[in-house]
Structure 1
Amino acid sequence: MATNKVLLVDGMALLFRGFFATSFRGNFMYTSKGVPTNGVYQFLRYLMDSVQKFEPTHVICCWDMGSKTFRTELYAGYKANRDEPPKELIPQFDLVKEVVEAFNMPNVGLENFEADDCIGTLAHAYSMENEVTVLTGDQDLLQLVKENIRVAIMRKGQGNYEVFDQGNFYEKKGLSPKQIIDLKGLMGDSSDNYPGVKGIGEKTAIKLLQEYETVDDLLNNIENLPKGVQTKINANLEMLHLSRSLAEIKCDVPISCSLDTSKWNVDHVTATNKLNELEFKNIDRWFITS
């Protein structure tokens, strides 16, 4: 029986969400030295809220380590549609990791891989003997759902989560978690900038996978598909396979993180010192009672 409850945090998802939730009003928050802190402040609010909600025994934060990964080598257009981060966000990338460290949580990341791959690898390893909750805003991570792994997608407003687990997944998505990879292969992903099969959208892709289960079985039965769908798939076969590779989260990257180092055990003195350094006003009292 799983006893530990591990929370794996998609750090960039929380930081970006926190930054843009406050910056659209021009509320960047600056220290007296002129360092912007709005993203870090909001990141902490999201994090503490999730700790209250999911009551983990262990917490680990995973990060992207730059924009170049094995996926950009596979496909130069991968995420190429994304703007440079705003100048007020850039100093907060290092700052947020310092705060995570001050709260006694490990920061995990690996060059050439995305945070998703680190989350997938750790989730897979921990789920053998522990309950794992993945906290993110990213639907790609839904493919990780299985026994002892659930994914909490952050929804609009603080404290709103849609939790996907083995029991409710099919009812919510009409597919199994593993089929999410093939779904992305067929329909592509506009936010990650890969097209899948041009002309096949989500509804058609779901219908095809409900009927044939996998892309491989679909291709084995291609002559049974409507002529229009056959034409689209044949014209985009290479991109279909490539999109599937881009969509699949690696669960075997060379990282590890001992659970002993990630117990949720905040040293209030260290954490408060860091928050005072950032000149946060009330958050120290707020997090200590959480």
Structure 2
Amino acid sequence: MSEKQNSIMLVDGMALLFRGFFATAFRGNFMKTSKGLPTNGVYQFMRYFLDAVDKFTPSHVICCWDMGSKTFRTELYNDYKGNRSEPPEELIPQFELIKEVVDAFDIPNVGLENFEADDCIGTLARQHATDIDVLILTGDQDILQLVDDGISVAIMRKGIGNYEVFEKDTFPGQKGIQPKQIVDLKGLMGDTSDNYPGVKGIGEKTALKLIQEYGTIEQIIESINKLPKGVQKKIRDNMDMLQLSRQLAEIKCDISVKCSLEDAAWHYDKRIVESKFRDLELGNLVKLVN
């Protein structure tokens, strides 16, 4: 294998768009074009994105998207993400708008029906990690399970320019477990934001302790008689949901998406980008592109 060259940044598009929308909308600052088209999510997305490009200097970029709310996970569990309300009406037109802006930068937009952006990111990360360093940009902790040799994750923190970077070597010191164990942790404790319960009555603290001691859900079940009586009962009473929650938590890394390094090379025509920004009356973003 040849020397790794530079890096590819896989962007969790939905995470950046939602974050950008709500960061600006909570002040009622929706930003609209003269035709009444809301652009606040697009504007803030670009500020986050361009800051990350400036900081991490990738040579290649791909942007990944959810393709609707129905996926194989909602088929497995009807209430998956069922606690989420409909997106605000000001956000809805921005889903397509942001893809047009990403397109203006000549960045591939990748998504696959029936799967989430996470599954696209996981699959592309595995495909490219043998040839190039992979950095995943997101605000979503679930993606930490993908940290591996050649795959790091930058979690966006509050504000712009604040990131917590997770790499394989330093991960146990940051989280107390290995990246792959995140899936088992979620199986036990569930995930309130994705609306699946895990084992009822087991929270993060107990789940973390069990994973640190036994390693995997399988090994916990094998050693169930050694556990405190209360914990034994909770696991036995919720065995089906434990297995289902683990399945929901696991990011698929073998779905049928592809994007070549050649297509993902980070270069753009400044005139096309500036023209798009001007169309959307986002002239103050022009100064952020070189």
TM bucket (normalised to shorter chain) is over 0.9
Whether contact under 8 Å (2:16, 2:48) holds in the other structure is yes
The one-character-per-residue Cα deviations of 1:41-84 (angstroms, maximum 9, x if unpaired) are 00000000000110000010000000000000000000000010
* Corresponding letter in the other structure for 1:60: I
Q: What is the aligned partner in structure 1 of residue 132 from structure 2?
A: 130
Instruction: For 1:24-103, list aligned pairs within 5 A.
Output: 24-103=26-105
- C-alpha separation in 1, matches of 2:14 and 2:279: 22
Q: How many residues are aligned here?
A: 288
* Corresponding letter in the other structure for 1:3: Q
Q: What is the aligned partner in structure 1 of residue 236 from structure 2?
A: 234
Q: Does structure 1 residue 141 correspond to structure 2 residue 143?
A: yes
- C-alpha separation in 2, matches of 1:136 and 1:253: 20
- C-alpha separation in 1, matches of 2:267 and 2:131: 21
* CA deviation after TM superposition for structure 1 residue 88, in Å: 0.2
Whether contact under 8 Å (2:270, 2:289) holds in the other structure is no
Q: What is the aligned partner in structure 2 of residue 262 from structure 1?
A: 264
Q: Does structure 1 residue 210 correspond to structure 2 residue 212?
A: yes
* CA deviation after TM superposition for structure 1 residue 216, in Å: 0.2
- C-alpha separation in 1, matches of 2:287 and 2:183: 43
**Aligned residue among 9, 12, 23 for 1:10:** 12
Unmatched segments (≥5 aa) in structure 1? none
- C-alpha separation in 1, matches of 2:64 and 2:275: 23
* CA deviation after TM superposition for structure 1 residue 106, in Å: 0.3
The one-character-per-residue Cα deviations of 1:79-118 (angstroms, maximum 9, x if unpaired) are 0000100000000000000000001100000000000000
> What TM-score comes out, normalization by structure 2 length?
0.99
Q: What is the aligned partner in structure 2 of residue 104 from structure 1?
A: 106
* CA deviation after TM superposition for structure 1 residue 4, in Å: 3.0
Q: What is the aligned partner in structure 2 of residue 115 from structure 1?
A: 117
* CA deviation after TM superposition for structure 1 residue 173, in Å: 0.5
- C-alpha separation in 1, matches of 2:259 and 2:193: 30
The one-character-per-residue Cα deviations of 1:140-198 (angstroms, maximum 9, x if unpaired) are 00000001000000001110000000121000100000100000000000000000001
* Corresponding letter in the other structure for 1:136: T
Unmatched segments (≥5 aa) in structure 2? none
* CA deviation after TM superposition for structure 1 residue 137, in Å: 0.4
**Aligned residue among 153, 162, 165 for 1:160:** 162
- C-alpha separation in 1, matches of 2:272 and 2:289: 13
Instruction: Please identify runs of 4+ aligned residues in structure 1 that moved more than 6 A.
Output: none
Q: What is the aligned partner in structure 1 of residue 203 from structure 2?
A: 201
* CA deviation after TM superposition for structure 1 residue 14, in Å: 0.3
**Aligned residue among 200, 207, 225 for 1:223:** 225
* Corresponding letter in the other structure for 2:83: N
SS at match of 2:121: helix
